[in-house]
Amino acid sequence: MQIVDAALDDAGRRAGSWLACRVGCTQCCIGAFAINALDAARLRDGLAELRRVNPSRATRIQRRAKAYINRVSAQFPGDPHSGILDESAEAQERFLDFANEEVCPALDPKSGSCDLYEFRPMTCRVFGPPVRNEGGGLGICELCFHGATDKEIAQCEIKPDPDCLEDALLSEVGESGNTLVAFALAD
């Protein structure tokens, strides 16, 4: 995480005011996205830490996570009991339109801040700055880089995990199967 966070800090310096990410901006906190087993473990660790220092806040997160699961479980493109997403092509197609309006349970609805920010998943960490996608293009948040040229955007690109350490760790722990933030936090 230190490598990823350092890359993000550097991208933030290069992007300056083009990067709209601030406390209260919740564009990336709405809609379902898959997280891996390491993300889920980090979130659970963060919730456990929060439970030690602020039990009522941790309980509110867990309640939001359980309510989220109750709302979406009938349409969940995977096993709604384990929370593991189905990896079939059909399930992945269904996931594209799944829970697009659901708010992340880690988001404090009053402050607009992430209650588990230090423990947030990789997807959350890299949302905003330009990141090269599998198709070769640069993905950026629609709220960022207004008025920037393609060249200026490319100069702010981040490579969050250039040595694929996250994949190596996943392989090392032997955990597979993606889930959602809500499933990681509901137990």
DSSP SS3 for 43: helix
Whole-angstrom CA distances from 37 to 102, 159, 172 are 21, 21, 12
The total number of structural domains in the chain stands at: 1
Residues ≥6 apart with Cβ < 8 Å to 61: 47, 50, 105, 106, 115, 116, 185
How far is the C-alpha of 180 from the C-alpha of 37, rounded, in Å?
Answer: 10
Q: pTM for the complete prediction?
A: 0.85
As averages over each run of 10 residues, the pLDDT of the chain (187 residues) reads 78 85 85 94 97 97 98 95 94 92 95 94 85 76 88 86 74 82 94
Note the pLDDT of residue 114. Answer: 95
10 and 158 Cβ atoms separated by less than 8 Å:
yes
Structural domain harbouring 158:
2-186
**pLDDT at res. 48:** 98
Distances (CA, A) of 61 to 106, 141, 161, 166: 6, 25, 29, 26
pLDDT for position 171: 76
